């Protein structure tokens, strides 16, 4: 009987997500619903997540087509703050372009740019307190720029030279700064999510006032660590902001493989019973406002917030990637939400506090500063030039006091070096 019933059923079919555009295709983004700037409601920070479920499908926007800041989400920032935001984003983009060139010249092994996504780190960080803890992914170098980390130290780390504060133990661009509350970048996807939630829980346990903010790409939301972190954040009401940078593409697969065909990434918040916002990630003022709202919510024990930044990765995933192999070249040009730097520049010009000439001067100023940082860092060594950390450091800093077995390994390694490279050892004397 069971076999007869099954014989009447159609064969099962597996759905494999497929991007809308491939190399050479004409691009049409008309199906993306872009809400009008200023029309999104701004709920009170004490609003229960169940009463703000529509926010995960909306798109918070502040800058309109006339370059004005409109609506209830306008953070009403002063000119000085906005100019600092513009300067910082230009610094990040200039730095990215220059260091990408250094990798192509063989001075470092790897680099990742954040072109088009600068607002998701710079504007968000500016809305936080300096002592709030940031748990970045590998495309949030804007956090360090916003907090004043020296460019030359960043380049030293990228070159893995003798002044690298991480002593050559991390891949290029995987920075760390305890002083600036910037948690060490990890190449493993989404490990920072449970770490951020755990840190936020610890802050609450101690009765501190600091909150945590964490970032990941949309593809990383498919990782188990993401969902474990969401569960802990919801259960323990952790004071944390969980940012998803939805830039449409992982290294070679589009966002559909992480669930974008079914719903928004902000909608993941609804399933866990926490507050969720969906933001125009190329609108710096909207990013600032959403982060400010979520930070105030966390700081007043109202719970965690998940923010989806709807943006676009305008460049390659990394220097190891060739996006022309899997996406249409027209995508960047046709992206309907524009460029965050251009949008903020036009807003400042509209306010009468900026000009095209000032922007050109700023671009040159930032380029000169990056060139100088690269030149200064290169004095400490570049890839393959031997100006690196002392050999012994590879055994240090694992334990507070080096255990016997590491001491033995270090001694053995030193002995083998003396045998294999006697000239190098003699030159150290």
Q: Which of 100, 147, 317, 388 is catalytic?
A: 317
Neighbours of 23 (CB within 10 A): 12
What gap in Å lies between CA 164 and CA 77, rounded to an integer? 36
Task: State yes or no: is 312 an active-site residue.
Answer: no
Long-range contacts made by residues 14-22, C-beta under 8 angstroms, separation at least 24? 17/254, 17/256, 17/257, 17/261, 18/256, 19/254, 19/256, 19/326, 19/327, 21/327, 21/328, 21/330, 21/331, 22/326, 22/327, 22/328
What gap in Å lies between CA 265 and CA 204, rounded to an integer? 27
Q: Which of 313, 343, 346, 347 is catalytic?
A: 313
Task: State yes or no: is 29 an active-site residue.
Answer: no
Task: State yes or no: is 313 an active-site residue.
Answer: yes
* Strand ranges (E), 119-189: 133-135
- Give start and end residues of each alpha helix (H) in 42-116: 79-104
- Tokens found for residue 334: 């046709």
3-state secondary structure of 177: strand
Question: Kind and range of the H or E element at 288?
Answer: helix 284-299
Report, as residue numbers or ranges, the catalytic residues.
313, 317, 326
């Amino acid at each position: 009987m069971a076999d007869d019933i099954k014989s009447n059923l159609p064969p099962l079919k597996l759905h494999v997500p497929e991007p809308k555009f491939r190399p050479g295709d004409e691009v049409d983004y008309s199906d993306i619903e872009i809400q009008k700037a200023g029309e999104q409601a701004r709920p009170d920070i004490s609003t229960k997540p169940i009463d703000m479920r529509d926010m995960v499908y909306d798109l918070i926007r502040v800058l309109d087509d006339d370059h004005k800041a409109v609506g209830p989400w306008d953070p009403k920032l002063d000119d000085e703050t906005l100019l600092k935001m513009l300067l910082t984003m230009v610094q990040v983009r200039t730095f990215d372009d220059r260091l990408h060139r250094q990798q192509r010249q063989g001075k470092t092994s790897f680099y990742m740019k954040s072109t088009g996504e600068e607002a998701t780190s710079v504007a968000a960080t500016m809305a936080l307190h300096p002592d709030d803890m940031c748990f970045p992914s590998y495309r949030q170098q804007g956090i360090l720029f916003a907090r004043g980390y020296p460019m030359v130290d960043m380049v030293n780390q990228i070159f893995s030279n003798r002044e690298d504060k991480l002593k050559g133990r991390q891949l290029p661009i995987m920075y760390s700064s305890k002083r600036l509350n910037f948690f060490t970048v990890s190449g493993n996807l989404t490990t920072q999510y449970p770490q951020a939630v755990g840190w936020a829980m610890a802050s609450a346990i101690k009765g501190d006032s600091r909150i945590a903010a964490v970032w990941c790409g949309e593809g990383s939301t498919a990782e188990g660590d993401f969902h474990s972190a969401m569960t802990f954040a919801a259960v323990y009401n952790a004071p944390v902001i969980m940012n998803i940078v939805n830039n449409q593409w992982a290294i070679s697969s589009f966002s559909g493989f992480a669930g974008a065909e079914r719903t928004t990434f902000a909608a993941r918040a609804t399933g866990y019973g926490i507050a969720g916002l969906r933001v125009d990630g190329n609108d710096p003022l909207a990013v600032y406002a959403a982060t400010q709202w979520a930070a105030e919510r966390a700081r007043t024990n109202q719970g965690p917030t998940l923010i989806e930044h709807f943006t676009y990765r305008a460049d390659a995933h990394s220097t190891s990637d060739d996006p022309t192999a899997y996406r249409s070249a027209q995508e960047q040009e046709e992206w309907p939400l524009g460029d965050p730097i251009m949008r903020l520049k036009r807003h400042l010009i509209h306010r009468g506090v900026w000009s095209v000439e000032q922007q050109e001067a700023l671009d040159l100023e930032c380029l000169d500063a990056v060139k100088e940082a690269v030149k200064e860092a290169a004095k400490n060594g570049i890839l393959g030039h031997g100006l690196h950390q002392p050999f012994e450091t590879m055994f240090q800093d694992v334990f507070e006091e080096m255990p016997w077995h590491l001491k033995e390994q270090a001694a053995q390694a030193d002995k083998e070096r003396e045998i294999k490279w006697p000239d190098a050892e003699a030159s150290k004397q």
